[in-house]
Amino acid sequence: MMPTSNLQARKQISQRHTGSTRYAGACWAGLGLALLLTGAVLACRSTGAGPSMPASIEGQRLYVAHCAACHGATGRSDGPAAIALDVRPRDFRREPTRYISTLNGVPTQEDLEQTILSGRRFGAMPAHPHLTDSDVVILANYVREINRLGWVDRLIEQFEEEEEEYEAEQVEAISHRRVKPGEPIHVPYVPSGFQSDTATGRKLYIDRCASCHGTTGRGDGLDKPKDERGRAITVRDLTLGEFRGGIGREELFKRIRCGIPGTPMPAQEGMDNEEMWQLVYYVEFLAGRRW
Ligand code: HEC
Ligand code: HEC
């Protein structure tokens, strides 16, 4: 059947690449009760809490039905189903989105839509192929709005800590800027005549990546790695090939170029296209995809 929109076309392609998540089955079991609980929590909040929830009623309805069980009624990653997961759901209030295609650390609309549609394989974020295109768009906007409210909280805390005076409009304006995505990076074609070469890839890898990922890629280069909030995380074992942002080469290119916000993994600058592709191929090589 022909896809009827771009979003559906992407859905079909991304499903082919990423499949569904390993953990989703287990998670859905506890979800019925979880939804009832979060629904109740949200209902309480939305009567008394005024502007702390985003404005879109439809966004809120969809969010409660599909996301709140894990991400929490107010986006703080404290939904009842979250406890059962190996990988913590993202806290939309305080944590940046990790798998993105911009250099300013803010996801594009497409990054968010893709996450919602395809989920994050290896990471317990389920795919949502049953949602309509417009539901996905509304949910992506809703998540961004929760991100923005998280910034409002943090900005107010910051002003108060520094005992500075502030106006509500000023906080609103800054918060809107903080969730505005930069230009998505352009993933270039593999240069013509390109030959992947393990020795070149390895040299780049040792210079730029081994300090964290270890000389053999097993993720053992850093002592007690932490995320930006000081919580313990693991550096990915690249030999497992478990790339949450997607297993395609284009996705790997984006991960290396843009880094992973909220974690120590930096964006990479100063490499030409040829070098970037050598690294992408070397990461695939480490993951056991020999060419
Ligand atoms: C079964 C629990 C579960 C449900 C339901 C769920 N998520 Fe997630 N979500 C997660 C987990 C776990 C992560 C962290 C994934 C990772 O780090 O690999 C995550 C991550 C995310 C991210 C961040 C991705 C990134 O690149 O950092 C977004 C955005 C997101 N979820 C949106 C949603 C939305 C919107 C819904 C509802 C349509 C939803 N999630 C439903 C568990 C869930
Ligand atoms: C300062 C430490 C650090 C450096 C340097 C670093 N990384 Fe990472 N990398 C991490 C951490 C931490 C994670 C796990 C992040 C997470 O769980 O979301 C990670 C995750 C990854 C992933 C998994 C992406 C995905 O989709 O799940 C890839 C691929 C990767 N790094 C490749 C590289 C390459 C290639 C380099 C060198 C250009 C590099 N990293 C440099 C810390 C680092």
Give the pLDDT confidence of 200-222 residue by residue, as tens digits: 999 999 999 999 999 999 999 99
Does ligand 2 have an atom closer than 6 angstroms to the CB of 276?
A: no
CB of 279 closer than 6 angstroms to any ligand 2 atom: yes
124 lines ligand 1 (CB under 6 A): yes
Ligand 1 nearest atom to the CA of residue 85, by list position: 12
pLDDT at 232 over 60: yes
Residue 136 Cβ < 6 Å to ligand 1 = no
Q: Measured in angstroms, how far is the CA atom of residue 261 from the centroid of ligand 1?
A: 15
For residue 6, what pLDDT band results from cuts at 50, 70 and 90?
low
- Over range 15-21, report the average pLDDT: 38
Give me the pLDDT at residue 267, please: 97
User: Of the given ranges (20-34, 153-167, 217-231), which has the lowest mean pLDDT?
Assistant: 20-34
User: Atom 42, ligand 2: which residue's CA is nearest?
Assistant: 265
42 pLDDT above the threshold of 50? no
All domains of the chain in start order, with CATH: 21-147 (1.10.760.10), 198-286 (1.10.760.10)
Indicate the pLDDT class of residue 289, thresholds 50, 70 and 90: confident
Averaged over 164-192, what is the pLDDT? 96
Mean pLDDT over 113-128 rounds to: 92
Cα–ligand 1 centroid distance for 128 (angstroms): 11
Nearest CA to ligand 2 atom 41: 209
The per-residue pLDDT for 54 is 52
Residue 98 in contact with ligand 2 by CB distance below 6 A: yes
- Residue 52: is its pLDDT beyond 50? no
Model confidence pLDDT, tens digit, residues 241-279? 999 999 899 999 999 999 999 999 999 999 999 999 999
CA of 237 to the centre of ligand 1 (A): 21
Ligand 1 atom nearest to CA at 131: 38
pLDDT value for 144: 97
DSSP per-residue codes, the chain:
---SSHHHHHHHHHHHHH---SSHHHHHHTHHHHHHHHHHHHHHHHHHSGGGS-S-HHHHHHHHHHTHHHH-TTSSS--GGGGG-SSPPP-TTT---SS-SBSSS---HHHHHHHHHH-BTTTTB---TTS-HHHHHHHHHHHHHHHHHHHHHHHHHHHHHTT----HHHHHHHHHHHT---PBPP-PPPPTT----HHHHHHHHHHHTHHHH-TTSSS-SSSS-B-TTS-B-----GGGT--TT-SSHHHHHHHHHH--TTSS-----S--HHHHHHHHHHHHHHTT---
99 lines ligand 1 (CB under 6 A): yes
Mean pLDDT of the chain: 85
Q: Ligand 1 within 6 A of 98 CB? A: yes
**pLDDT at position 122:** 86
Q: Is 265 in the pocket of ligand 2 (CB under 6 A)?
A: yes
CB of residue 280 inside a 6 A radius of ligand 2: no
Confidence of residue 53 (pLDDT cuts 50, 70, 90): low
**Predicted local confidence at residue 121, as pLDDT:** 84
Higher per-residue confidence, 13 vs 244: 244
